[in-house]
């Protein structure tokens, strides 16, 4: 049986949110899907019955966007046991900066430290290429969900 999908997004300028909405439109044809801003996500609600697709941008010099900081802080404070939790990660960034796509890596590292398992390829969008992230995010989500 297919797991439900929750798409968590962390954004500064809205690009990760737009990509999350486009991925949700793709996913909802085959599965139950919910989109949640990382600012509003309660880390105690992670459940093994759900697959988490995380789409997170990078801000400044490889930092988390303001929309993802509350979730990372909650993970640090509450340190939930995430063994059995599966997620996939898609990072947004610009390779003309030294810390390309580093924002999403902060979330990825913390989830891993708490026992969650990342599945599939780590997706990345490079704004330096001049393309919007939605196309790559949709392609990434198809690969993740086809294999899962």
**Please, which pLDDT band fits residue 30 given cuts at 50, 70 and 90?**
confident
Mean pLDDT confidence for 65-89: 96
Asked whether the beta carbons of 55 and 88 are under 8 A apart, the reply is: no
Query: Do 56 and 90 form a contact (C-beta atoms < 8 A)?
Result: yes
Q: Which two tokens stand for residue 8?
A: 């968590």
pLDDT given at position 27 = 85
- In the chain the domains, ranked by start, together with CATH numbers, are 4-147 (3.40.50.360)
Q: Say yes or no to pLDDT of 2 above 70.
A: yes
Average pLDDT, the chain: 92
pTM flag (> 0.85): yes
The answer to whether the beta carbons of residues 58 and 102 sit under 8 Å apart is yes
| Element spanning 52, H or E | strand 50-56
Compute the average pLDDT of residues 26-38.
89
Q: What is the mean pLDDT of residues 1-27?
A: 91
What pLDDT score does 60 carry?
80
| Chain segment 34-75, per-residue pLDDT in tens | 999 999 999 999 999 999 999 999 888 888 999 999 999 999
In angstroms, the CA 67 to CA 65 distance is 5
Neighbours of 127 (CB within 10 A): 19
Say which residue, 125 or 98, is predicted with more confidence.
125
């Amino acid at each position: 049986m297919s797991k439900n999908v929750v798409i968590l997004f962390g954004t500064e300028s809205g690009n990760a949110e737009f990509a999350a909405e486009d991925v949700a439109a793709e996913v909802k044809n085959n599965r139950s899907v919910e989109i949640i801003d990382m600012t509003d996500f309660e880390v105690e609600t992670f459940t093994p019955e759900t697959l988490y697709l995380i789409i997170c941008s990078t801000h400044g010099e490889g930092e988390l966007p303001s929309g993802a900081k509350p979730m990372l802080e909650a993970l640090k404070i509450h340190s939930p046991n995430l063994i059995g939790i599966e997620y996939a990660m898609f990072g947004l960034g610009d390779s003309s900066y030294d810390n390309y796509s580093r924002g999403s890596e902060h979330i990825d590292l913390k989830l891993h430290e708490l026992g969650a398992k990342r599945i599939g390829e780590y997706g990345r969008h490079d704004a330096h290429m001049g393309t919007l992230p939605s196309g790559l995010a949709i392609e990434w989500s198809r690969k993740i969900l086809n294999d899962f």
